[in-house]
Amino acid sequence: MPILKWFLTSGFGLMLLAAFVFSLADVLTKYLTSQLPIMQIAFIRFLLGVMLLWPILSSRGISLRGNQTKILILRGLFGTLSFFCLLQSIALIPLANAIVLFYTFPLFVALFSFVFFKTPIEKGEILLIGAGLIGIYLLIDPDFHSFNAGYIFGILSSGMGGMAMVLIHQARQTNGPLIIYFYFCLIGGILSFPFFLRGFEIPDFPLGMLLIFLGLMLLIGQVLMNQGFKFCKASEGSLIMMSEIVFAGIAGFLIYQDPITLHFLIGALLIIGSGVGLNLMSRRSRRSPVSPNAQ
């Protein structure tokens, strides 16, 4: 089919498809967090990732040790913490709000790149970071009518994710995307295993299948995104991936009846706009454009 072929061979199509798959995973995650302990969801996701990636890496002769092991472990640690916080955020607040908050990570990438690697921040980037912070304030609700801890977890998820992105940039200098993602799943599995055992609940067959399906969707989305970056620039791919916000927002409104308020719309536009601007400006700096869902 010509349309399917286009989706699978063009950077725009692959990125759009990856964003759609990730948004489906977001919707499913929202449901599963109301049925199962969060750490059980996380551990199964990480376990499936390790089980699927291990034979792929071995068949390609890629050493499981990787290069810059310390960076890989740190990236896995921050990515795991980001994922834990994202799950908690999705469980507690409207889906669209959780995803929009996660997409503030370009702000943290710019800040952490400056703090840890002395990458200069231009005046325009400072203004964009300020706009993003205002967007966060509006999204949380300045009158605190609907505030809960989910918003804090959303910001923590973004911050941890931003640090993970900075470390990914370092790791990519000597490692491929598969080994980086493998370490994320490996570290995540190790960290979540004790909590998985403590709160383990045997899911019924439908829930068990949904857990497996979620793990597969996240892996498929990651593969589509990695493939998409082969056909387009990193900055372009990162911007296309922001369509996940739109997909998740529509799904949250239709499926979970999430409210769409004026504060949310203005805050989301400021956050998306700042993210787009920071990605575009990163072309002129030494900082690589950041790609969402790399965690």
Q: What is the distance between the alpha carbons of residues 113 and 117, in angstroms, rounded to a whole number?
A: 5
Domain for residue 68, yes or no?
yes
Domain for residue 290, yes or no?
no
Provide the CA 214 distance to its chain's centre, in angstroms.
14
Q: What is the distance between the alpha carbons of residues 66 and 53, in angstroms, rounded to a whole number?
A: 13
Domain for residue 268, yes or no?
yes
pLDDT score recorded for residue 234: 66
pLDDT score recorded for residue 219: 87
Does this model's pTM top 0.75?
yes
Q: Which domain holds residue 143?
A: 38-208+259-284
pLDDT score recorded for residue 289: 54
Angle CA 238–110–20, to nearest 5: 20
- Digit-by-digit pLDDT tens for the chain (295 residues) are 566 665 666 778 888 898 999 999 999 999 999 999 999 999 999 999 999 999 999 999 888 888 999 999 999 999 999 999 999 999 999 999 999 999 888 888 888 888 887 777 788 888 888 888 888 888 876 555 656 889 999 999 999 998 998 888 888 889 888 899 999 999 999 999 999 998 777 888 899 999 999 989 998 988 888 787 777 766 677 778 888 888 988 998 899 988 888 888 888 898 888 888 887 776 555 555 555 555 5
Q: Are 175 and 76 in contact (CB under 8 A)?
A: no
Domain for residue 87, yes or no?
yes
Domain for residue 62, yes or no?
yes
pLDDT score recorded for residue 28: 96
DSSP state of 173: T
Domain for residue 146, yes or no?
yes
Domain for residue 89, yes or no?
yes
Distances (CA, A) of 109 to 2, 134, 185: 38, 17, 22
Where does residue 294 rank: exposed (0-12), middle (13-18), buried (19+ CB within 10 A)? buried
Distances (CA, A) of 116 to 82, 130, 180: 19, 20, 20
Q: How many domains does the chain have?
A: 1
pLDDT score recorded for residue 282: 66
Domain for residue 15, yes or no?
no
